[in-house]
């Protein structure tokens, strides 16, 4: 499948690398490809510049958000929640129309420091904001409830956790569930329509405290039943 992964941070890289490994034709989208490749900056946890990662993943191309989305069958929003709507606007409504848009972002607001609060919650969600802004996209919320490393190696915490999917388009959720299974996820729980993304996004404040308590992010939530 031709997949655009929007975002060059650790989430975008991790998903792009895994999808490339699984044989998909992956293009990473960024605001300005030349600038992204030229940057020598590490991120806030010391991850190397994008160019270093790109050198290790020759099969993954880098393009503008619009070029990446335009060529794709499926688009992954792996950007920070605070810029997701802007990035998807840059990707272009026609380039998202009719396509599955996998939203893995979280509406984190760092304005008041750490831990962040949520800039939308409870009676709305970022996933719904994206769906309203791009009504012809087939938005599916998923994977936002775990750290990037666990997204692509769900058995790595020692035991499989649960991955949730939310969306208004049943066919789109089915395609995403298939993709999740191919990535190793065995327990995919369909929460229902896209309003259920409110629940999936609101686990972040607990996720952050569990990370603080355990001292590392390599964990997941499992629905035992």
Residues that bind its own copies (CB under 8 A): 112, 117-118, 121-123, 157-161, 164, 166, 189-192, 196, 198-200, 202-203, 205-210, 212-214, 218-225
Cα–Cα distance, 27 to 60 (Å, whole number): 6
Q: What is the smallest separation between the CB atom of 194 and its own copies, expressed in angstroms?
A: 11
Nearer to its own copies, 22 or 203 (CB): 203
Q: What is the smallest separation between the CB atom of 210 and its own copies, expressed in angstroms?
A: 6
What are the Cα distances from residue 165, in Å, to 11, 60, 182?
18, 26, 15
Nearer to its own copies, 48 or 192 (CB): 192
CB 135 within 8 A of CB 97: no
Which tokens go with 48? 């190397």
Nearer to its own copies, 8 or 196 (CB): 196
Cα–Cα distance, 168 to 6 (Å, whole number): 22
Q: What is the smallest separation between the CB atom of 173 and its own copies, expressed in angstroms?
A: 12
Nearer to its own copies, 181 or 222 (CB): 222
Maximum Cα interatomic distance, the chain, rounded to a whole number of Å: 49
Q: What is the smallest separation between the CB atom of 155 and its own copies, expressed in angstroms?
A: 9
Q: What is the smallest separation between the CB atom of 45 and its own copies, expressed in angstroms?
A: 19
Nearer to its own copies, 91 or 127 (CB): 127
Backbone angles phi, psi at 63, to 5 degrees: -150, 175
Question: Among candidates 195, 98, 101, 106, which has minimal Cα distance to 140?
Answer: 101
């Amino acid at each position: 499948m031709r997949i655009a992964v929007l975002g060059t941070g650790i989430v975008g890289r991790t998903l792009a690398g895994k999808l490339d490994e699984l044989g998909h034709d992956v293009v990473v989208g960024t605001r300005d490809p030349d600038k992204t490749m030229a940057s020598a900056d590490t991120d806030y946890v010391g991850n190397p510049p994008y160019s270093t990662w790109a050198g290790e993943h020759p099969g993954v191309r880098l393009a503008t958000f619009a070029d990446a989305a335009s060529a794709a069958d499926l688009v992954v929003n792996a950007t920070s929640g605070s810029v997701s709507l802007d990035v998807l606007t840059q990707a272009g409504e026609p380039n998202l129309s009719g396509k599955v848009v996998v939203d893995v972002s979280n509406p984190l607001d760092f304005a008041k420091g750490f831990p962040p609060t949520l800039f939308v919650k409870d009676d709305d969600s970022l996933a719904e904001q994206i769906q309203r802004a791009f009504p012809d996209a087939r938005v599916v919320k998923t994977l936002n409830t775990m750290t990037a490393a666990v997204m692509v190696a769900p058995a790595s915490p020692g035991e499989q956790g649960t991955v949730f999917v939310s969306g208004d388009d049943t066919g789109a959720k089915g395609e995403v569930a298939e993709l999740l299974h191919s990535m190793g996820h065995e327990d995919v729980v369909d929460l229902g329509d896209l309003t259920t993304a409110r629940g999936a996004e609101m686990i972040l404040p607990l996720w952050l405290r569990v990370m603080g308590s355990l001292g590392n992010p390599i964990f997941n939530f499992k629905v035992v039943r």
